[in-house]
Amino acid sequence: MPTSRAEALHLTGERTVPGVPEENYWYRRHEAAYQALLPYCADATVLEAGCGEGYGAGLIAAVARRVIALDYDEPTTCHVARGYPEIEVVRGNLAYLPMRGASIDVVANFQVIEHLWDQDGFLAECFRVLRPGGRLLCTTPNRLTFTPDSDVPLNPFHTRELAPSELDQLLRDNGFQVERLHGLHHGDGVRALDDRYGGSIITAQLDVVMGHLPGHAPWPEELLADIDRIASGDFDINGENLDASLDLVAVAVRP
């Protein structure tokens, strides 16, 4: 159940979970990217490297032949194993993927690479475990819009955020061919909320969270209701105006 998931997996700001109204904007934003990339997972053996709460691996499992969900955190992997019994769950470090070489069709890495200290090392591991022709699906916040005024990520769980050109070059430097590099943007419904809340629904949420003690923020009823109504279809993913996108959505191929 969504509520029990939220209670079982403590919210720290490092990952999002479904079923929490205050988290719904971020959850739906992430879900939109999963749904856009699901066709690449059809009938494939998929490794989700950094599975978090497990909802993404659950979505992938609906179309994939086999899904292996990997995370370093023991409470997280226990939670995923309980909540998503259709998924194979493995605890391990993303620096050394516990898979044989050329054994995986698709590596899914959603909103994770920005957390890693050794991004090159991780991509080398992805290259190693992918079969020739296999794909890496990667999403990450766009540095140009996520932390536009600082060289240091404002999110304490992030080590290095990437601009579109930086992600493209990072993938190519590690042997991948970049098949698709798109950006996620607010669709019409969320842009209407931007207008309603002084130009940014994100800022409106952050003002509540940053202005009060975590877990005790008195969310305005109207704001919370507006956030809770957001759906994954309220976001657009396309190849236009990448520098202004919120998240980067990449598909890279191992030759």
CA 95 – CA 31 distance, rounded (Å) = 25
Phi, psi of 180 (to 5 degrees): -155, 130
Asked if residue 166 has pLDDT above 60, the reply is yes
State the DSSP code for 142.
B
Question: What's the distance, Cα to Cα, between the start and end of the chain in Å?
Answer: 41
Asked if residue 164 has pLDDT above 50, the reply is yes
Asked if residue 83 has pLDDT above 50, the reply is yes
- Of the given ranges (52-66, 74-88, 147-161), which has the lowest mean pLDDT? 147-161
Model pLDDT for residues 170-186, shown as the tens digit of each residue: 999 999 999 999 999 99
Pairing of strands 104-110, 45-49: parallel
Percentage of residues in the chain having pLDDT higher than 70: 92
Mean pLDDT across 221-243? 97
Domains of the chain, start order: 2-253 (3.40.50.150)
Q: Nearest to residue 67, comparing CAs of 104, 98, 96?
A: 104
Query: What pLDDT score was predicted for residue 197?
Result: 96
Residue 43 contacts by C-beta under 8 Å, 6 or more apart in sequence?
63, 64, 65
Asked if residue 168 has pLDDT above 60, the reply is yes
Query: What pLDDT score was predicted for residue 244?
Result: 98
Pairing of strands 104-110, 235-238: unpaired
The amino acid present at 230, given as its one-letter code, is I
Contact between 142 and 165 (Cβ < 8 Å) = no
Of the pLDDT bands very low, low, confident and very high (cuts 50, 70, 90), residue 213 is very low
CA 30 – CA 124 distance, rounded (Å) = 25
- Of the given ranges (11-15, 195-199, 233-237), which has the lowest mean pLDDT? 11-15
Q: Which two tokens stand for residue 86?
A: 């259709």
Percentage of residues in the chain having pLDDT higher than 90: 83
Query: What pLDDT score was predicted for residue 217?
Result: 55
Model pLDDT for residues 15-33, shown as the tens digit of each residue: 788 999 999 999 999 999 9
Query: What pLDDT score was predicted for residue 51?
Result: 96
Query: What pLDDT score was predicted for residue 223?
Result: 96
